[in-house]
Structure formats: C-alpha cells, structure tokens
Amino acid sequence: MPPEKVDEKKIGQDDPVKVYRKPSCSTCRAAEVFLVQKKVPYVTVNYHERPLTRFEIWQLLDKLKMKPRDILRRREPLYKKFGLDHGHHTDDELVTLMEAHPELIERPIVEKGDHAVLARPVDTILQLLKKPLRLPKSVKPVKPTNLNL
C-alpha cells in the first residue's frame, strides 16, 4: 500500500496555540498582546483555576525540552518554603509539587502542536511560530513529481 499523500505545509498548522497563564500576570498578558499583534489565534489555559495533571505537566516538559526544575518559579514563596533551592528533590517530586501548587510553574508557557516555549521574554514565542512541523510517524511525505502529460 503506498504511503498516504500529505501536504507537509498543512500538518500542524491547524494546531491551536495555547497560552498557559495566570490572568493577573503581566507577562502572560503581554504574551497575549504579542499573539494578537501577530494575528495568531490562540486559546488560554488558566492553570491556576484548573490545575494541570501530572500527565499534562510531563507532556509540557517534553514539548519544552526541559526538566521540572527549569520551569520552577524561583521567586514564588513556596519555592523556599519547600526547600526547592537546595536541589534535593527528584523530578517526580517536583512534578508532584507543581500539580498540587500550580503557582510553582513559571509562566507563561505557549504551546503549539508538539512544541512549547517558556515565553520569557515574550518574543521567545517567535521561536515556536517558526518551528518546522513534524510529521506524525504514521505519515510518510511524498515528494512532488512533475508529470508532463
């Protein structure tokens, strides 16, 4: 059976841009203004109102290509309260704390498809918007051929 023919330019373009945010955060609001100015449609996820699950946090970390410690809010009072500045917690323990205390997660995180960025500074979002799109493993690209009929 021949591979499914796919227009590579369209793959992932319909993936919504998601902004994981806290509405009172000025950097989150700046990220949204940035997307509006670039005419990029997006949806917001208020992860303080509906905390992320462990699975969702691990998925975001995979898309960010980061470790749990990389997205901790170091200025958050809970950071010191839980002794996170000592570096003795495992990645799994950190994700458990982030699930229970979403204020420990740095923000905003902007996601598109299978990529995400920590939007600090806000123009980091450009890296996400310029990312090449990855084909699903089940789809093989078909090279166009010139048929002179």
Amino acid type, 58: W
The model's pTM: 0.78
Any domain includes 99? yes
Any domain includes 9? no
- Name the more confident of 118 and 136: 118
Domain extent, residue 114, equals: 17-129
Q: What is the total count of domains within the chain?
A: 1
Residues 16-48 have pLDDT tens digits of 899 999 999 999 999 999 999 999 999 999 999
Cα–Cα distances in angstroms (integers) from residue 127 to residues 10, 101, 120, 148, in the given order: 19, 28, 12, 40
Any domain includes 149? no
Any domain includes 10? no
Any domain includes 2? no
pLDDT higher than 90, residue 56: yes
**How many angstroms separate the first and last alpha carbons of the chain?**
25
Question: What CATH code is carried by the domain that includes residue 52?
Answer: 3.40.30.10
Q: Using the structure block, give the residue that is written with the tokens 């373009």.
A: 13
